[in-house]
């Protein structure tokens, strides 16, 4: 950890506020935290305040901050070949693609690299439409797929509303038993009724027009919604029945987040296309991609694929993926994520739910968890409204930060999403802070 340097922190802050335009924000109201450094599961500011990162930044620093093997891989590649045009082959791009295909298994055959998750979604949709000769894309209301044309249109949360310009994209309700749209009372009922709903949407939109169903395998920002038994398999069956491409977006859930290399490997399902991005290298260098089935890849054996990116398979990004995957294997980081979730975070959050009435539901896998916070357990009234925040949620964030924890919150939920390298001691420390923070806002409970 570096020594405190408030003067340097002020300089960095002033530069940011004068010259940097931030995303998803009204610029004048911003007061960004100024980060001086990071390591493992922690980062710190210029005032010497250290934070346990239970946000993994944007739920992507899976391998932790400043992992030496990934940093070394980037440095070694920069010394050999810092950049190259995408029409040329380079060793690290091929090695990264090989590793990803081998980890994905099943139908996976090739990888198209992009700059991030949003443009990976764009290209997956393009591939599906060309492959099927069908133009409509169905995606879930509770979802986030990125902030580019088709990706933001596919998104189901309010960030879509001011950005709706892409055509022929429609939404359906996915399963969410705690706030069921289908009056279900069991996971099995929720799965069956959600699948019936989806099939009706396909039928009424016209199976001959629906080219793709795009879903987050486990919904991320919009709730850490783990699909109930049979749901993903049922979607796969509908895709087979109506000749629809199944696209699973694993930008957030992939590369260890759920305790598996890919979240869909928790179920008996094989998608046609898989979107990945920041988790593959913890965001050390911007990267994304589409894992392509052999059948869809063959569509473009003789037909030109009408898409490309200057930085597709950039050597530094590819090297960081190779370094990250190899380190994850060597250090059993995927296994650590699964163990921490099963033995520490899951049981710990359930204990908190017994203690704090504000917690309506706990759900998750691996290091990918959420608490659905309510003012009344009987009515399940949320602690903050849909598409908004509340004094209670704002205070919860402050209470966590004051105790040295960086939380991830969205609407009425707190997500518990530390790096996959988080230790048992760090996980328990974070849960203890959350316990204290929830106690501090307990008066907001009304039930």
pLDDT value of residue 417: 98
Region 142-151: what's the mean pLDDT?
A: 97
pLDDT for 134 equals 98
Domains of the chain, residue spans: 6-66+332-444, 68-330
pLDDT band at 91 (very low <50, low <70, confident <90, very high): very high
Sign (positive/negative) of CA torsion 124, 144, 62, 268? negative
Q: How far apart are CA 235 and CA 128, in angstroms?
A: 16
Mean pLDDT, residues 34-60: 97
Does pLDDT of 442 surpass 60?
yes
- Strands 288-293 and 273-276, sheet pairing: antiparallel
Distance CA 225, CA 363 (A): 7
Please compute the mean of the pLDDT values over residues 177-184 and round it to a whole number.
Answer: 98
Alpha-carbon dihedral sign for residues 187, 152, 390, 60: positive
pLDDT over 70 at 369, yes or no? yes
User: What's the predicted TM-score (pTM) here?
Assistant: 0.97
* Confidence category of residue 3, pLDDT binned at 50, 70, 90: confident
Q: What is the mean pLDDT of the chain?
A: 97
Burial class (CB in 10 A: 0-12, 13-18, 19+), 301: exposed
Percent pLDDT > 70 in the chain is 100
Helices 68-80 and 315-330, axial angle in degrees (round to 10): 150
Q: Return the pLDDT at 339.
A: 98
CATH class of 68-330: alpha beta
pLDDT tens, 230-252? 999 999 999 999 999 999 999 99
Tokens representing 406? 């960086």
**Across residues 74-99, what is the average pLDDT?**
98
Residue length, the chain? 447
- Tell me the DSSP string of 166-197: --SEEEE----GGG-SS---SHHHHHHHHHHH
**Residue-level pLDDT at 64:** 98
Q: pLDDT at residue 216 above 70?
A: yes
- Distance between CA 138 and CA 430 in Å, rounded? 38
304's tokens: 């030109």
- Count of Cβ atoms closer than 10 Å to residue 53 Cβ: 24
pLDDT given for residue 1 in this prediction: 57
Determine what percent of the chain is predicted with pLDDT higher than 90: 99
pLDDT at 2 over 90: no
> Which CATH architecture fits 6-66+332-444?
Alpha-Beta Complex (3.90)
* CA neighbor of 421 nearest in space, from 315, 311, 321, 340: 340
How many CA within 13 A on the CB side of residue 281?
32
> What's the first-to-final CA gap in the chain, in angstroms?
44
Q: What is the mean pLDDT of residues 291-304?
A: 98
What is the per-residue pLDDT across 333-368, written as a single tens digit (0 to 9) for each?
Answer: 999 999 999 999 999 999 999 999 999 999 999 999
Q: How confident is the model at residue 88 (pLDDT cuts 50, 70, 90)?
A: very high
Mean pLDDT of 74-90: 97
How do residues 256-280 score in pLDDT, each as one tens digit?
A: 999 999 999 999 999 999 999 999 9
């Amino acid at each position: 950890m570096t020594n405190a340097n408030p003067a340097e922190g002020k300089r960095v802050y002033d530069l940011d506020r004068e010259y940097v335009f931030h995303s998803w924000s009204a610029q004048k109201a911003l007061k960004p935290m100024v980060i001086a450094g990071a390591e493992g599961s922690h980062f710190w500011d210029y005032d010497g305040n250290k934070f346990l990162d239970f946000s993994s930044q944007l739920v992507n620093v899976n391998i932790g901050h400043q992992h030496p093997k990934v940093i070394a891989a980037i440095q070694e590649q920069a010394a050999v070949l810092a950049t190259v045009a995408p029409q040329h082959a380079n060793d690290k791009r091929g090695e990264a693609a090989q590793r990803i295909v081998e980890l994905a298994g099943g139908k996976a055959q090739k990888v198209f690299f992009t700059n991030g998750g949003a443009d990976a979604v764009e290209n997956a949709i393009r591939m599906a439409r060309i492959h099927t000769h069908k133009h409509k894309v169905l995606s879930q209301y509770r979802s986030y797929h990125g902030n580019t044309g088709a990706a933001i249109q596919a998104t189901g949360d309010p960030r879509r509303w001011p950005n709706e310009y892409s055509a022929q994209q429609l939404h359906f309700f996915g399963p969410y038993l705690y706030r069921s749209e289908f009056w279900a009372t069991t996971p099995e009922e929720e799965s069956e009724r959600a699948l019936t709903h989806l099939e009706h949407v396909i039928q009424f939109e016209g199976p001959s027009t629906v080219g793709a169903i795009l879903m987050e395998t486990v919904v991320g920002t919009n709730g850490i919604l783990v699909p109930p038994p049979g749901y993903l398999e049922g979607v796969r069956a509908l895709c087979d029945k109506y000749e629809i491409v199944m696209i699973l977006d694993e930008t957030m859930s992939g590369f260890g987040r759920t305790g598996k290399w890919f979240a869909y490997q928790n179920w008996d399902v094989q998608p046609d296309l898989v979107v990945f991005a920041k988790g593959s290298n913890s965001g050390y260098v911007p990267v994304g991609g589409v894992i392509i089935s052999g059948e869809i890849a063959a569509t473009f054996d003789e037909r030109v694929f009408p898409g490309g990116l200057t930085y597709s398979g950039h050597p530094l990004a590819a090297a960081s993926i190779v370094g990250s995957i190899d380190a994850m294997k060597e250090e059993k980081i995927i296994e650590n994520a699964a163990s921490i979730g099963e033995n520490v975070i899951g049981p710990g959050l359930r204990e908190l739910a017994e203690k704090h009435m504000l917690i309506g539901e706990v759900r998750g896998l691996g290091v990918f968890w959420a608490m659905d916070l309510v003012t009344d357990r009987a009515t399940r009234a949320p602690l903050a409204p849909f598409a908004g925040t509340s004094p209670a949620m704002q205070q919860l964030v402050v209470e966590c930060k004051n105790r040295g924890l960086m939380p991830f919150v969205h609407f009425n939920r707190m997500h518990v999403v530390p790096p996959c390298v988080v230790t048992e001691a760090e996980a328990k420390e974070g849960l203890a802070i959350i316990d204290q923070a929830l106690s501090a806002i307990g008066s907001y409970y009304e039930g």
